[in-house]
Amino acid sequence: MATRVVGVLLVLMGVGSLVPRNVEAARRSGVGVRVSSISLSSLRHPNVETGHPHILAIQQNNTVSPSLVSRLSRVLSLRDYNTRVVLLGTTILGITAGIVGTFMLLRKRALVGDVVGHSALPGIAIAFLVMEGLSPGTGKWLPGLLLGAFAFGLAGAVTVMLIDKFSRIKADAAMAMTLSVFYGLGAALFTIVQRVPGGNAAGLKTYLNGKTASLVADDVWLFVGIATVVLVLAMLFMKELTILCFDEQFAAAEGWPVFWLDTLLIGLVVTVTIVGMQSVGLILVVATLIIPPASARFWTDDIRLMTLGAGLVGGMSSFFGTVISALFPRMAAGAVIVLTGASLFALSLLFGSKRGVLVHAWQQRKLRHDVGRVDLLRACFELVEHAVSDPIPTHEEMMDHEILLGDLVSMRAWDLSTLRRLVAVAEKDGLMQHTGDDNWRLTETGAEEARRIARNHRLWEMYLMQYAHIAPSHVDRDADLIEHVLDPELIAELEYQLDHPEEAVPVSSHATTGSSSG
Amino acid sequence: MDMRRFRSTLMCCQLALACSQAGCQPAGTTISDDHLADGKIAIVCTTGMVADIVSHVAGERAAVVALMGEGVDPHLYVPTGSDIRRLQGADVVFYSGLLLEGQMQSTFELMSGKGRPVFAVTADIPKSQLRTPAEFEGHPDPHVWNDVALWSLTVDTVANRLGEFDPEHAAEYLASANVFQAELEGLDRYAREVIASIPESQRYLVTAHDAFEYFSRSYGVPVESVQGITTESEPGVDDIVRLVDMLVTNKVPAIFVESSVNSANIQSVIEGAKSRGWDVRKGGTLFSDAMGPEGTYEGTYIGMIDHNATTIARALGGQAPEKGMQGKLNRTGQE
Amino acid sequence: MIQEFFHLLSGWSSLDTAIAGSAALTAMSCALPGAWLVLRKHSMMGDALSHSALPGVVLAFLVAVGMRQAGWISSGQQDALLQMFLFAGAVLVGVGTAWLTEWVQRLGRLESGASLGVVFTAVFALGLLLIRLDVDDVHIDVDCVLFGIIEMAALDTIPGTSIPEPVLVNGAIFVLNLLLTVLFYKELTLAAFDPALATSLGIPARGIHYGLMAITAMTVVAAFTTVGSILVIGLLIIPSATALMFSERLMVVLGLSVGIAALSAVLGHALTLTLPRMIFSRLGYPTIEDAGTAGMMSVTAGMLFVIALVFAPKHGIVSKLIHRFRLGLKIAGDDLLGLLFRIEEQTAARPTDVSVPDLVAKQNGINRWVMSLSVRSLLRGDFITRQASGELSLTDRGRESAKSLVRAHRLWEAYMAKHFELPDDHLHETAHRVEHFIDDAIQDRLQSELKSPSKDPHGKSIPRRSDT
C-alpha cells in the first residue's frame, strides 16, 4: 500500500518518467500478496476462498497481464474501443476547456466552472419533480434533467456576473455566495425529493456526475460539436474577448458590447461544464477549466499564445492521463488526468519561461547582482572624487587611486562582509583588482564603468530635480532605484534636456559623503 | 461567561415559545401518544427492508413507519427535523446497521446508550458470516439483505427485541417470525435454483456499482462491477477494457442496471463489447439499496429479491418463470 | 398565509431550539474567519476545504489500518480511534490545502481563485485515486463518515445536560476565534490590507497569512463534522459579504457578519419548518413536512444578502438609483437654468416655437418626465417663474445660480484650452459634463490660474461673481 501511495505522490510531483515503474512495482507487489489471498483484488472477489471456478477465471484475467511494452502498444494502437473513445473525448474536452478557461482565468473567475456545477443541483431536483408531476416514473429522463441542470447552472453564472457588476462585492465572494445558496437550495430540495411518494430518486444527486472512463462515442461527437463552436467563436471574437479580459471598463467606454461578450463567455462555460459534468464528471471539468490556463500563464503574457498553450496543456494532460489510466489497473481515469495536469502545472510553475519560479529567481538574482555592482562602483567613484582635488576625477585618477575597504564601507549602509562579497564579485567580473590586504584598485573597465554609472545617476538626479520638483534630500534614493533601468536612449534624452556635454560627469547635486543617504 | 449567557438565551427562547404555543402541542410528542392510545407500538425503521421484517413480525400490534421511502439511497439519506421528531417519538427504533445509515448510526448508538430501545437488526449476525474485507476490519459490507439466509437471521433479532419491549406478546412475535422465516427459506431456495439454472459459462453478474457481493457469495454468481462501493469511486480506462475483455471472452449475454446509478456508466461497456463483435444486452434494472414502489409486490422484501433473482436468471439464459416465484412480478425485467 | 406561517411555527419545540442554536453558533464561529477570507479574496476556500476532506479521510483511514496491521493498535482501538483519525486527517489535509494554495499563489504570483482551483482539484483527485486504489471496498463517502447532519447533531447532547455538543464545540471555537481576532486585530488588518507596511513594521505578514489559513481550515473542518458542509460553505462567506454592503469599517463588518450569521441560522430554521410545507402542500404533496435545515439556512442567508444588495443605505441598488435620479434631476435643472441664462444673454436666439424645457430635454437627451419634475422643483424653489404667456423666465435667485453655472462652464473651457491642445469644438462637451461639479472654490482657483480672463475660447464673456 505504501508503494502505491508513493506512486500516486510521484504522479502528483510530476516525476513522470518514474511513475510507470513505480506503479508497475506496486501492481506486482499486489500480485505477490494475492497468493496469500488477502489482497485488495481478491477482496473484491471473496469467492476465491470458496473456490468457485469462474471467479478464478476472472482472477486470471486480472492478474496474468502482458508486459508493459505490449500493453503500451495495445493502448497506443488504440485497438480498444474504450481507450479510443476516452482518449479522443478527454483530449478534445481538454483543449476546449483550456481555451474557455483562459478567458475565465483572466476575468478572475477561474472557479466559475465549480460554481456552475454546484448550482445545477436545484435544477436537477426541480426537473425531477416537474417530470414526476407530469407523468410518474419519468423523473430520471436524462435530457430533462440536463435541461434543468443547464438552466440553473446558467442562472448561477449569471448571478455571479450580476453581483460582480451591481455591487461592491468582488467576484470571488460572489462565486462563493452563489455556489452555496444554489447548492443549499438543491440540498433542501433533495430532502424533499427523497420524500416524494412514487419517485425513485436514489442516486439522483450524483446522476449527472459521469465517470471519465465510461465515455461513449456519442459523448465524443458532442465534444467535437462544442469544440468547433468554441474554436470558431474564440477566433471570431479574440480581439473583443481580449479587451474584455484585460480592461473591461475601457471596453465599455469604447462602446464594445461588454454585456453580450460576457454572456457569450458564460454561455460557453456553462455549456462546457454541464456537458462535461455528465460525461466525465465535475471535478475533471473544473480542473481542466483552471489548470491548463494557469499553467500557460507561466509561459506567456500574450493572450493568443496563452489560449493555445492552455489548449495544449489541457490536451496533453488528457492524453497522458488517459494513457496512464489505460496502462495500469485501478487508475481512476478522471483523477489521473487531473493529477497529470497538476504535474504539468508544477513543471510550468517551476520552469515557465515568462513567470516561472526559476526564471523569476534568476532575474531577481541578476537584479541583485547588478544593483550590488552599480552601488559598489558608484561608491568607488565618490571615494575617489573626495580624494582628488579636482571636483571630477579623470579616468586615470580613477584607475590609479588605491581604494581601501575601510574607507569604502563608510560610503554606504553596508557591512564589511557584504562589501567583501561585492568586491569579490567585481573582481571576478574584471572590474577591480586586488593590490594588497584590503587594498583594491579599479581596472580599466572598472573605471570606465564607474564613471558611466555615476554619470547616469547624476543625470537622473538632475532630471528629477528639474522636472519633478523633488527636494534634493529625496533625490538620491529615487535615483538609486531608477539608474538600474536607465537605457542609453533615455540618457541621451536627459543629456539633451539638461544641456550637458557628452562624457563629462556632472557634479552631484547633494553631498556625497556619509553612509545613510549615500 | 459566554456559554452561560448563551444558555440563558436559549432558555429564554424556549420559554417565549412555550408561552406562544399555549394550547398547541409540539408536533414531536404526539405520535407515540396517538399510537399508544389505539394500543399499537409506534415503531420507526430506517430502510424499507427493515420495516418489511418488522411489519411481518409485529403484525397488527405495531404501527411501522419507514423513514426512507422507496428508491432512497440509505448511504446518503439526509434526515430532516421531522424525521428526528419521529425518532424521538417512537417507542422502538430499528435500523439496519453496519454503517449503512452513515452518520445516523452514531446518533442511534447514542440513543441506545441512553437506554432507549434502539436496535440494529444486523447486530446478531455472526461476524464470521459478514463479508469483511480483510484489511478493513470493522467495516463489513452492509448490503446484507442480498443474502436471504443471512437476512433471515435479522428476523430473530427483531422478534427477540420486540419480545423484550413487549413481553406480554413475546410468544406471538416469535410465532410470526417463524412463519416469515419459512417464507424466506422458500425465497432462498428459489433464488438458488434459478441462478443455478444459468449455464455455468455465462454465470457472471456485471453491474454498475458494487452492491451485490452477498448475492454473489450465497448464490454462486461471480460479480464484477464498473465502480466500487463509494459513490465517488471511479474506474480507470484499463478497468473498463478488462471488463469488456471478460464479457467478450466468456460471452456473457447481459449486464445489469441499478435503479440508483446512471445507466450511462454501463453503456460504455456495452459499446466496448459491441466493437469487438459481442452484443451484450441490458438485462434489466435491479433493486440494490432500496425496494420498489410502495404498494407493489416489488415494494416488499420478498418481491425485491424475487425480482432481482428472476431478472438475473432470465437475462443470463437461465430458467425462471416470467412472473417470478409467486407469479406476482409486475415486470419481466427485460429492457 | 401569514396565519398559516405562524401556525406552523408554533410547532417549534426544544429540538428546534437546539438545531437553530447549534447552527447559529457554528455560523458565528465561521463568520470571523469568513470575513478575512472575503477581504483577502479567498472566498472559495470553504468549497475547497469541503473537497480536500476526501483525501483527508482516506489517508487517515489508511494510516489507521496501517497502524493496526503493524500491530501498534488493536482492532478495538482502531474502531475507537477511527473517528478521531478521520477528523485529524481532514483537518491536516485542509490546513495543507490552505497552505499550498497560499504558497502557489505567492510563488507563482497567481490570482487566488486560480491557485485555489489548481490545488483543490488536484488534492481531490488524489483522494479519488486513493479510493480506487486502496479502499474501493469500503463506503468512505465524506458525507457518510465525516460530515455531520445538523438535525442529528442537535440530538447529541452532552451527558447530563440538554446542551447539544455542537453548541459546546463550535461555541468554544467561536470564542477562540473572537479572542484571536481581538488580540491580533492590528496585525491581521495590516497584513490583509498592506503587507508591505506590515513587514516594515516588523509584523510577519506572511506568517499571519499562513496562520490565518490554518485557523480557518480548522474552524471550517470542525464545523463540517458537526453540521455538515452545506451549511458551513454557505454561512462562511454570505454574512460577511452582506455586512460589507452596509459598512466599510472593518470592526463594524466583523460585528455585523457575526450577527447576520446567527440571524440567518435562526430565521433559516424557522423557514424550514414553514416554507416547504406551505409550498408543497399546495403542489399536491401533503406528506412533505419540512426540508433539510442546512440548505434552507444557506438560502435564507442568500435572501438576506439580496435584501441588503437592494436596500442597503449607501451601497444598495435602490439608494444608488435614488442618488442617480437626484443627480439627473439636478443636471436637468442646471441645463434649463443655463439655457435660460444664455437666452437672456442673447435675446436674438430666443426660440419662438419650442418651449425651453423641451429644447433642453431634446438637446441633452433628458427624459421628458424628469425634465418636467425638475421644472416643477425649480418653480417651487423660486429659481424660475412662469409668465402669463406660459413662458419660463429666471428669477433673481435663479439668475445667480445660472450665472455661477455658466461661469464654471466657461472657466473650464478656458482652462482646457490653455492646458490641453483640444480643438474648440471638443471643449464644450467636457465643460458641459463637469460644470455641475465645479463649486465656487474651484471657480476661484481656475480664475486665478487663468489670471482672471473675461472671455472664453469661443469669445463669450465669462460672467463675474455677483458679490465681487
Domain presence at residue B275: yes
For residues A340 and A321, is the Cβ–Cβ distance under 8 A?
Answer: yes
Domain presence at residue B216: yes
Listed residue (C89, C90, C92, C103) closest to C207, CA to CA: C103
Domain presence at residue B321: no
Q: Looking at the structure, tell me whether residues B147 and B223 fall in a common domain.
A: no
Contacts of B10 in chain C (CB under 8 A): 17, 21
Dmax (CA) for chain A in angstroms is 106
At A295 the pLDDT is 96
Tell me, yes or no, if A357 comes closer than 8 A to chain B by beta carbon.
Answer: no
Tell me, yes or no, if C60 comes closer than 8 A to chain B by beta carbon.
Answer: no
Query: Is residue C201 helix, strand or coil?
Result: coil
A109–chain B nearest CA distance, Å:
26
Tell me, yes or no, if C147 comes closer than 8 A to chain B by beta carbon.
Answer: yes
At B119 the pLDDT is 94
Cα of first residue to Cα of last residue in chain C, in angstroms, is 68
Which residue in B has a C-alpha nearest to residue A203's C-alpha?
Answer: B260
Full 3-state SS string of chain B:
CHHHHHHHHHHHHHHHHHHHCCCCCCHHHHHHHHHHHCCCEEEEECCHHHHHHHHHHHHHHEEEEECCCCCCCHHHCCCCHHHHHHHHHCCEEEECCCCCCCCHHHHHHHHHHCCCCEEEHHHHCCHHHCCCCCCCCCCCCCCHHHCHHHHHHHHHHHHHHHHHHCHHHHHHHHHHHHHHHHHHHHHHHHHHHHHHCCCHHHCCEEEEECCCHHHHHHHCCCEEEEECCCCCCCCCHHHHHHHHHHHHHHCCCEEEEECCCCCHHHHHHHHHHHHCCCCCEEEEEECCCCCCCCCCHHHCHHHHHHHHHHHHHHHCCCCCCCCCCCCCCCCCCCC
Q: Which helix (H) or strand (E) holds A434?
A: strand A432-436
Q: Looking at the structure, tell me whether residues A57 and A85 fall in a common domain.
A: no
Contacts of B268 in chain A (CB under 8 A): 82, 85, 213-216
Say whether A329 and B80 touch across the interface (CB within 8 A).
no
- Candidates C87, C152, C263, partner chain B, best to mutate (most B CBs within 10 A): C152
Q: Looking at the structure, tell me whether residues B158 and B248 fall in a common domain.
A: no
Q: Looking at the structure, tell me whether residues A332 and A372 fall in a common domain.
A: no
Band of residue A502 on the pLDDT scale cut at 50, 70, 90: low
Domain presence at residue A284: yes
Band of residue C375 on the pLDDT scale cut at 50, 70, 90: confident
Say whether A180 and C46 touch across the interface (CB within 8 A).
yes
Q: Looking at the structure, tell me whether residues B63 and B117 fall in a common domain.
A: yes
Report chain C's mean pLDDT, rounded to a whole number: 85
- Does C427 have pLDDT greater than 80? no
Range of the domain at B305: 197-315
At A199 the pLDDT is 57
Q: Looking at the structure, tell me whether residues B106 and B245 fall in a common domain.
A: no
Query: Is residue C454 helix, strand or coil?
Result: coil
As a whole number of angstroms, the distance between CA B124 and CA B55 comes to 19
Listed residue (B238, B97, B99) closest to B154, CA to CA: B97
Domain presence at residue B10: no
Contacts of B26 in chain C (CB under 8 A): 11-14
Report chain A's mean pLDDT, rounded to a whole number: 78
As a whole number of angstroms, the distance between CA B188 and CA B218 comes to 9
Mean pLDDT of C174-188: 91
A355-366 tens-digit pLDDT: 899 999 998 888
Band of residue C277 on the pLDDT scale cut at 50, 70, 90: confident
Which residue in A has a C-alpha nearest to residue B295's C-alpha?
Answer: A198
Q: Could you tell me which chains touch chain C, where touching means 3 or more CB pairs under 8 A?
A: A, B
For residues C428 and C370, is the Cβ–Cβ distance under 8 A?
Answer: no
Say whether A114 and C47 touch across the interface (CB within 8 A).
yes
Range of the domain at A6: 2-65
Q: Looking at the structure, tell me whether residues A351 and A367 fall in a common domain.
A: no
As a whole number of angstroms, the distance between CA C448 and CA A484 comes to 42
Comparison of pLDDT for A126 and B102, the residue scoring more: A126
Say whether A216 and B245 touch across the interface (CB within 8 A).
no
**In this structure, what CATH number is given to the domain that contains residue A428?**
1.10.10.10
Q: Which of C38, C132, C294 sits opposite A184 (nearest CB)?
A: C294
Q: Looking at the structure, tell me whether residues B311 and B241 fall in a common domain.
A: yes
**In this structure, what CATH number is given to the domain that contains residue A196?**
1.10.3470.10
At A480 the pLDDT is 56
Mean pLDDT of A393-407: 81
As a whole number of angstroms, the distance between CA A301 and CA A176 comes to 28
Contacts of A297 in chain C (CB under 8 A): 108, 110, 114
In angstroms, the Cα distances linking C63 to A54, A468, C53, C56, C460 are: 34, 66, 15, 11, 87
Mean pLDDT of A379-395: 79
Interface of A with B in 382-441 (CB under 8 A): none
Domain presence at residue B23: no
- Does A15 have pLDDT greater than 80? no
Q: Looking at the structure, tell me whether residues A284 and A379 fall in a common domain.
A: no
Say whether B229 and C137 touch across the interface (CB within 8 A).
yes
Domain presence at residue A503: no
For residues B304 and B151, is the Cβ–Cβ distance under 8 A?
Answer: no
Contacts of A216 in chain B (CB under 8 A): 264, 267-268, 271
Say whether B107 and C168 touch across the interface (CB within 8 A).
no
Interface contacts A/B by beta carbons within 8 Å: 170
- Candidates C3, C5, C12, partner chain B, best to mutate (most B CBs within 10 A): C12
Tell me, yes or no, if C80 comes closer than 8 A to chain B by beta carbon.
Answer: no
Query: Is residue A330 helix, strand or coil?
Result: coil
At A510 the pLDDT is 65
Tell me, yes or no, if B167 comes closer than 8 A to chain C by beta carbon.
Answer: no
As a whole number of angstroms, the distance between CA C319 and CA C309 comes to 10
Which residue in B has a C-alpha nearest to residue A337's C-alpha?
Answer: B236
Q: Which of C141, C147, C175 sits opposite B232 (nearest CB)?
A: C141
Q: Which of B76, B133, B249 sits opposite A43 (nearest CB)?
A: B133
As a whole number of angstroms, the distance between CA C28 and CA B3 comes to 13
Band of residue B9 on the pLDDT scale cut at 50, 70, 90: very low
CB atoms within 10 A of CB B318: 20
Comparison of pLDDT for B136 and A176, the residue scoring more: A176
Interface of B with C in 304-333 (CB under 8 A): none
At A33 the pLDDT is 30
Domain presence at residue A516: no
Q: Looking at the structure, tell me whether residues A176 and A103 fall in a common domain.
A: yes
- Candidates A107, A164, A169, A340, partner chain C, best to mutate (most C CBs within 10 A): A169
Number of domains in chain A: 3
- Does B44 have pLDDT greater than 90? yes
Mean pLDDT of B41-47: 93
- What ipTM was reported for this prediction? 0.86
As a whole number of angstroms, the distance between CA B55 and CA B38 comes to 17
Q: Which of C47, C118, C276 sits opposite A342 (nearest CB)?
A: C118
Q: Looking at the structure, tell me whether residues B52 and B156 fall in a common domain.
A: yes
Q: Looking at the structure, tell me whether residues A290 and A379 fall in a common domain.
A: no
Q: Looking at the structure, tell me whether residues A347 and A202 fall in a common domain.
A: yes
Q: Looking at the structure, tell me whether residues A259 and A342 fall in a common domain.
A: yes
Query: Is residue A428 helix, strand or coil?
Result: helix
Listed residue (C191, C188, C192) closest to C180, CA to CA: C188
Q: Looking at the structure, tell me whether residues A261 and A394 fall in a common domain.
A: no
Which residue in A has a C-alpha nearest to residue C109's C-alpha?
Answer: A355
At C116 the pLDDT is 92
Say whether A214 and B240 touch across the interface (CB within 8 A).
yes
**In this structure, what CATH number is given to the domain that contains residue B284?**
3.40.50.1980
Band of residue A3 on the pLDDT scale cut at 50, 70, 90: very low
Q: Which domains does chain C have, with CATH numbers?
A: 14-266+296-310 (1.10.3470.10), 316-394 (1.10.10), 402-468 (1.10.10.10)
Q: Which helix (H) or strand (E) holds A195?
A: none
Which residue in C has a C-alpha nearest to residue B30's C-alpha?
Answer: C11
- Does A348 have pLDDT greater than 50? yes
**Among A65, A89, A104, where does a domain finish?**
A65
Residue A305: exposure state from Cβ atoms within 10 A (0-12, 13-18, ≥19): middle
Q: Which of B10, B29, B103 sits opposite C152 (nearest CB)?
A: B103
Contacts of C79 in chain B (CB under 8 A): 138
Interface of B with C in 237-256 (CB under 8 A): none
A365-376 tens-digit pLDDT: 888 888 888 888
Contacts of A62 in chain B (CB under 8 A): 242
For residues A342 and C118, is the Cβ–Cβ distance under 8 A?
Answer: yes
Mean pLDDT of A449-456: 84
Domain presence at residue B334: no
Say whether C128 and A332 touch across the interface (CB within 8 A).
yes
Tell me, yes or no, if A88 comes closer than 8 A to chain B by beta carbon.
Answer: no
C216-237 tens-digit pLDDT: 988 998 888 888 888 888 889 9
Say whether B236 and A329 touch across the interface (CB within 8 A).
yes
Contacts of B71 in chain A (CB under 8 A): 199-202
As a whole number of angstroms, the distance between CA C150 and CA A63 comes to 46
Q: Looking at the structure, tell me whether residues A180 and A291 fall in a common domain.
A: yes
C397-412 tens-digit pLDDT: 888 888 888 888 888 8
Q: Looking at the structure, tell me whether residues B268 and B170 fall in a common domain.
A: no
Contacts of B105 in chain C (CB under 8 A): none
At B170 the pLDDT is 92
Q: Looking at the structure, tell me whether residues B166 and B107 fall in a common domain.
A: yes
Which residue in A has a C-alpha nearest to residue B223's C-alpha?
Answer: A45
DSSP letter for A136, please: T
Q: Looking at the structure, tell me whether residues A320 and A404 fall in a common domain.
A: no
Comparison of pLDDT for A294 and A473, the residue scoring more: A294
At C207 the pLDDT is 86
Tell me, yes or no, if B133 comes closer than 8 A to chain A by beta carbon.
Answer: yes
- Does A47 have pLDDT greater than 50? no
Q: DSSP letters along A41-100, please? A: HHHH-GGGTTT-HHHHHHHHHHH----HHHHHHHHHTT-SHHHHHHHHHHHHHHHHHHHH
Contacts of C286 in chain B (CB under 8 A): none
Q: Looking at the structure, tell me whether residues A228 and A341 fall in a common domain.
A: yes
Most confident among A122-126, A402-406, C378-382 (mean pLDDT): A122-126
Number of domains in chain B: 2
Band of residue A222 on the pLDDT scale cut at 50, 70, 90: very high
